[in-house]
A and B are shown apart, each in its own frame.
Chain A
Amino acid sequence: AQSVTQPDIHITVSEGASLELRCNYSYGATPYLFWYVQSPGQGLQLLLKYFSGDTLVQGIKGFEAEFKRSQSSFNLRKPSVHWSDAAEYFCAVGAPEYGNKLVFGAGTILRVKS
């Protein structure tokens, strides 16, 4: 079965600084990859997704992610963080042979300091 690792439980960055959230997956082929963001007490909002093609994916709110097959990674990046980006970020993996169910990483809580 597929699995997802988000190595960083918490990350704190200064407003205006760049951000990279790490995500590594375990799966034999190329899975479907997603990044979601969750504000406290709310559901998840899709930031971006990768299915195939260009390995650099652009998402909403200025986020991007790069799929690196050799490293089994799908790291999320943003060049300049805003205070409103403070939230919890989840990487998720889906695969056809597992019924396309999503497996989520443990999440990374992003704190933004002014």
Chain B
Amino acid sequence: GAVVSQHPSRVICKSGTSVKIECRSLDFQATTMFWYRQFPKQSLMLMATSNEGSKATYEQGVEKDKFLINHASLTLSTLTVTSAHPEDSSFYICSARGTVTGNQPQHFGDGTRLSIL
């Protein structure tokens, strides 16, 4: 159980393109979803936290107009990288948690490799 599906797994596109990444919880309802960014050979950096039906909470230094997050249902959150540029190239990973209480683990998707040419 607790499967999180992330799509697409890899995206290559031109500079200036907007890219949408989907994160779905397949067998549970995700009250909270998280979006992370991981640079090569580095740890995960939390970008934002989204709760179903409310606005996402962004971490300091993350541009909310650049990285649009929508969590419209209990099984789907999307991250849209708007007008992507080469510096946005990275590995983006989502995770989902099924309950409001904190002592439940986050379950991660397989990540999306974004390459902006």
A residues in contact (CB < 8 Å) with B: 32, 34, 36, 41-46, 49, 51, 90, 94-96, 99-102, 104-107
Contact = CB atoms under 8 A, between A and B. Distances in A.
B105 A42 contact: no
A101 B42 CA distance: 18
A90 B105 CA distance: 14
Contacts of B101: 100
B43 A44 contact: no
Given A43-B95, A44-B95, A46-B106, 7 more contacts: A32-B103, A94-B103, A99-B102, A100-B97, A100-B103, A104-B43, A104-B44
Interface in B61-87: none
Interface residues of B, number: 24
User: Interface SS of chain B: helix, strand, loop or mixed?
Assistant: strand
A106 B42 contact: yes
A43 B111 contact: yes
